[in-house]
Amino acid sequence: MNFPILSSLILLPSIGALFLFFTKSKSENKITAKYVALFTSLVNFFLSIYLWFLFDQTTSAFQFVEDRIWIKGLINYKVGVDGISILFLILTTFITPLCIISVNNSVTKRLNEFLIAILVMETFMIGVFCSLDLVVFYLFFEAGLIPMFLIIGIWGGARRVYSAFKFFLFTLLGSVLMLVAIISIYWITGTTDVVQLYELGIDTKYQNLLWLAFFSSFAVKTPMWPVHTWLPDAHVEAPTAGSVLLAAILLKMAGYGFIRFSLGLFPSASEVFTPLIYTLSVIAIIFTSLIALMQEDMKKLIAYSSVAHMGFVTLGIFTIQQQGIEGSIIQMISHGLVSAALFLCVGVVYDRMHSRLIETYGGIVTVIPKYAILFMVFTLAALGLPGTSGFVGEFLILMAAFKDNFLVAVLASLGVIIGAAYMLWLYKRVIFGKLINSELKKMIDLNKSEAFTLTCLAIPTLYFGFYPEPLINTIEVSIRDLIDTYNFSVASK
Amino acid sequence: MNNIELIFPEIFISLSIMFLLILGVFKKDSSKMIHNISLLVLLITAVITFNETLSINPTTLFNESIIIDYLSSFMKIITLLAAFVVLLISSNYLRTFKIFKIEYPILILSSVLGMMIMISSNDLIVFYMGLELQSLALYVLATFNRDQLKSSEAGLKYFVLSALSSGLLLYGCSLIYGFTGSTNFNVISTQFNTNEYAITFGIVFILVGLAFKISAVPFHMWAPDVYEGSPTSVTLFFTMVPKIAALTVFIRFLYVPFLNLIDQWQMILVFLSIASMLFGAIAAIGQKNLKRLIAYSSISHIGYALAGLATGSNEGIQSSVIYMTIYIIMNLGFFSCLLMMKRNNIYYEQIDDLSGLSKNHPLLSISLLIILFSLAGIPPLAGFFAKFYIFKAVIEQSMYFLAIVGLLSTVVAAFYYLRIIKIMYFDEEKDSYDKDHNLWLKLSLTVSTILILMYFIFPSELIDVVSKINII
Residue B59: what are its φ and ψ, rounded to 5°?
A: -130, 140
B460 in reach of chain A (CB within 8 A): yes
Q: Write the DSSP string, B297-336.
A: HHHHHHHHHHHHHTT-SHHHHHHHHHHHHHHHHHHHHHHH
Using CB atoms, which residue from B378, B384, B411 is nearest to A173? B411
Cβ neighbours for B393, distance < 8 A, ≥ 6 positions apart: B308, B311, B313, B315, B316, B318, B319
| Average pLDDT, consecutive stretches of 10 residues, N- to C-terminus, chain A (493 residues) | 79 86 65 83 90 84 84 83 88 90 73 86 91 91 90 84 89 89 89 85 85 91 86 87 88 90 87 89 90 88 90 90 90 91 88 83 83 89 87 90 88 89 88 80 81 89 89 87 85 74
CB contact under 8 A, A139 and B396: no
Residue B198: per-residue pLDDT: 81
* Domain ranges for chain A: 273-493
Closest residue in chain B to residue A24, using alpha carbons only? B362
Confidence band for B273, pLDDT divided at 50, 70 and 90: very high
Mutate which of B375, B421, B464 to disrupt the A interface (most A C-beta within 10 Å)?
B421
Looking at the complex, report in whole angstroms how far the Cα of residue A364 sits from the nearest Cα belonging to chain B: 35
| ipTM topping 0.85 | yes
Using CB atoms, which residue from A70, A160, A172 is nearest to B426? A160
Helix A83-106 with A5-21: angle, nearest 10 deg: 20
Residue A123: what are its φ and ψ, rounded to 5°?
A: -55, -50
Residue B112: per-residue pLDDT: 94
CB contact under 8 A, A169 and B410: no
CB contact under 8 A, B422 and A180: no
The DSSP 8-state label assigned to residue B163 in this structure reads H
Given a contact cutoff of 8 angstroms between Cβ atoms, the answer to whether B319 and B308 are in contact is yes
Looking at the complex, report in whole angstroms how far the Cα of residue B411 sits from the nearest Cα belonging to chain A: 6
Mutate which of B402, B415, B453, B460 to disrupt the A interface (most A C-beta within 10 Å)?
B460
Mean model confidence pLDDT for chain B: 88
Query: What are the pLDDT digits (tens) for B68-105?
Result: 888 889 999 999 999 999 998 888 888 888 888 888 89
CB pairs under 8 A between A and B: 82
Residue B298: per-residue pLDDT: 92
For residues B194-213, average pLDDT:
85
Closest residue in chain A to residue B359, using alpha carbons only? A110
CB contact under 8 A, B388 and A179: yes
CB contact under 8 A, A169 and B379: no
Closest residue in chain B to residue A189, using alpha carbons only? B396
pTM of the model: 0.91
B400 in reach of chain A (CB within 8 A): yes
Looking at the complex, report in whole angstroms how far the Cα of residue A134 sits from the nearest Cα belonging to chain B: 13
Looking at the complex, report in whole angstroms how far the Cα of residue B288 sits from the nearest Cα belonging to chain A: 18
Cβ neighbours for A479, distance < 8 A, ≥ 6 positions apart: A83, A84, A322, A325, A326, A329
Other CB atoms within 10 Å distance of the CB of residue A310? 31
Given a contact cutoff of 8 angstroms between Cβ atoms, the answer to whether A9 and A47 are in contact is yes
Give the separation between CA A206 and CA A120, rounded to whole angstroms. 36
CB contact under 8 A, A143 and B464: no
Query: What are the pLDDT digits (tens) for B97-139?
Result: 888 888 889 999 999 999 999 999 999 999 999 999 999 999 9
Closest residue in chain A to residue B362, using alpha carbons only? A113
Residue A105: per-residue pLDDT: 62
Share of chain B above pLDDT 70, in %: 99
Give the separation between CA B38 and CA A361, rounded to whole angstroms. 73
Looking at the complex, report in whole angstroms how far the Cα of residue A110 sits from the nearest Cα belonging to chain B: 9
Residue B435: per-residue pLDDT: 79
Closest residue in chain B to residue A113, using alpha carbons only? B362
